[in-house]
Amino acid sequence: MNVIALTGGIAAGKSTVAGLLADRGAQVIDADALARAAVEPGTPGLASVRSRFGDEIVRADGTLDRAALGAIVFGDAAARADLNAIVHPEVGRLYRERLSQLERTMPEAIVVYDVPLLVEARSVDEFELVVVVHAPAELRVQRLVELRGITPDEARRRVDAQASDEQRLAIADVVIDTSGSLESTIEQVEALWQRLVAERPPRTGVSDPLS
C-alpha cells in the first residue's frame, strides 16, 4: 500500500487538493477529522483539554468550543504545545487504526494522509511521498481575511503559529502551487495522480499477462 503525506499551511488549498485526489480514487485520511474525534464529548481527550484550559472552552452541550480554544492557543506557543501533547497521541492512534483497516480491506489503495502539521508533529520517513500544497504566507493571510472573515492580525497569528513556508518546502517531494488559478491546481493534481498510479506496486497474487 502506498501512503502519501499531503500537507500545507492554513488556507493554502490543501482541502481542495485532497478532494481532487479523492475524486480520482485516493483514500483520504483527514487528520483534522481525527483531531475532532479525539476531543468529542465523553472522550479522555476532551477531559484532558478541559482540565488544562478550563471550563470556558466547553460549550453548554458538552462539545468543544473551538473558537474559544483557538483564541488561547494561537497566540501562546506554550499553550499550543500543551494542546498538541494531549491531542497528537490520540490522533496517531486513530490514524493507525484507520490505516490498518485499509490495509485489510483495500491493500492496493493509494492512501493520502491529509495532515496539516506534518513538519510540527510527524516524521516524513513513514511516507512514500510528501506532497506540499503551497501558497505564499501573505496570500494565505489574505485568503483567511477574505474567506473566513477574521481580522488581518488574527490571520497573521494563525499563519505564524504553523511551520514556515521554508520548513514545509524543505521536506517536499512534490509541490502543488495553488497561488494561481484553479485550473492550474487541477493540472498539477492530475500530473501527481498519474505519477502515483504509475508507481503503485503491482497487484499481489495476479500473474503478469505477458509472462
Q: What is the CA radius of gyration of the chain?
A: 19
Whole-angstrom distance between the N-terminal and C-terminal Cα of the chain?
A: 24
Q: Say yes or no: 70 and 120 in one domain.
A: no
For the chain, the domain total comes to 2
Does one domain contain both 40 and 90? yes
| Whether residue 171 sits in one domain with residue 143 | yes
**2 contact partners, CB below 8 Å, separation of at least 6:** 109, 110, 111, 128, 129, 196, 199, 200, 201
- Asked if 196 and 4 touch (Cβ cutoff 8 Å), the reply is yes
159: CB partners within 8 A, 6+ apart: 9, 10, 11, 137, 140, 141, 144
- At residue 206, the pLDDT reads 43
Provide the residue-wise pLDDT of the chain in tens; the chain has 211 residues.
789 999 999 999 999 999 999 999 999 999 999 999 999 999 999 999 999 999 999 999 999 999 999 889 987 889 999 998 999 899 999 999 999 999 999 999 999 999 988 887 777 888 999 999 999 999 999 999 999 989 999 999 999 989 999 999 999 999 999 999 999 999 999 999 999 999 887 665 443 333 2
84 and 48 in a common domain: yes
Residues 42 and 102 in one domain: yes
Going by C-alpha positions, the residue among 119, 126, 130, 128 that lies closest to residue 166 is: 119
Residues 121 and 100 both lie in one domain: no
Q: Are residues 51 and 71 in the same domain?
A: yes
- Domain's final residue, options 58, 84, 106: 106
Q: Are residues 129 and 79 in the same domain?
A: no
One domain for residues 130 and 149 = yes
113 assigned to some structural domain: yes
Q: pTM of the entire structure?
A: 0.84
Cα–Cα distance measured from residue 95 to residue 118, given in angstroms and rounded to the nearest whole number: 13
- Do 18 and 89 have their domain in common? no
Domain hosting 147: range is 1-26+109-200
Domain edge (last residue) among 73, 106, 139: 106
Q: Is residue 189 assigned to a domain? A: yes
* Cell numbers describing residue 53: 484550559
Is 69 in contact with 57 (CB distance < 8 Å)? yes
Looking at the chain, the whole-number percentage of residues with pLDDT higher than 70 is: 95
Residue 135 in any domain: the answer is yes
Which CATH number is 133's domain given?
A: 3.40.50.300
Residues 128 and 193 occupy one common structural domain: yes
Q: Are residues 150 and 135 in the same domain?
A: yes
CA distance 199 to 208: 16
Q: Count the neighbouring beta carbons within 10 Å of the beta carbon of residue 82.
A: 17
C-alpha cell of residue 93: 492512534
